[in-house]
């Protein structure tokens, strides 16, 4: 049973990455739009910082809600920008991959900083 679970997890990971590649490829071929463009990455990183500030700066004065709303606005902006340049379903499904790409870019920047310093 454990082997089937491991195989299922591996297949799910492969399907996840294949769907991300398919969304990117479809948007590039059909709409000539990169769903992982620099604007998407910048908005994703900014929204991650907003979420971190919301978690860290919860002092009870309502600032947590402001940071959370700012993060939501950035993701809605990303969704609308992708939707206007491609299709609704590409924009909807690519949100997960765009968030993941922002996290991976932050990790790459941290590794570069650690390697240089």
Domain ranges of the chain: 2-116
Position 71 scores a pLDDT of 96
101 neighbors 85 (Cβ within 8 angstroms): no
Write down the pLDDT at residue 32.
94
Predicted TM-score (pTM) of the model is 0.86
Looking at residue 115, its pLDDT comes to 85
- For 53, how many CA atoms within 13 A lie in the half-sphere containing its CB? 15
DSSP code of 86?
S
The answer on pLDDT for 59 being more than 80 is no
- Residue 62 belongs to what H/E stretch? none
Asked if pLDDT for residue 86 goes beyond 70, the answer is: yes
Model pLDDT, residue 117:
63
Please tell me which residue, 99 or 61, carries the higher pLDDT value: 99
User: Which pLDDT tens digit goes with each residue over 43-55?
Assistant: 999 999 999 988 8
């Amino acid at each position: 049973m454990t082997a089937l679970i491991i195989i299922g997890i591996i297949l799910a990971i492969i399907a996840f990455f294949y769907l991300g590649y398919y969304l990117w490829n479809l948007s590039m071929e059909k709409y000539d739009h990169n769903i992982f463009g620099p604007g998407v990455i910048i908005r994703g990183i900014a929204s991650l910082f907003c979420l971190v500030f919301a978690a860290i700066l919860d002092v009870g004065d309502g600032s947590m809600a402001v940071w959370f709303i700012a993060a939501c606005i950035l993701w809605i902006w990303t969704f609308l920008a992708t939707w206007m340049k491609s299709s609704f379903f590409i924009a909807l499904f690519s949100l997960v991959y765009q968030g993941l790409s922002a996290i991976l870019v932050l990790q790459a920047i941290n590794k570069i900083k650690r390697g240089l310093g």
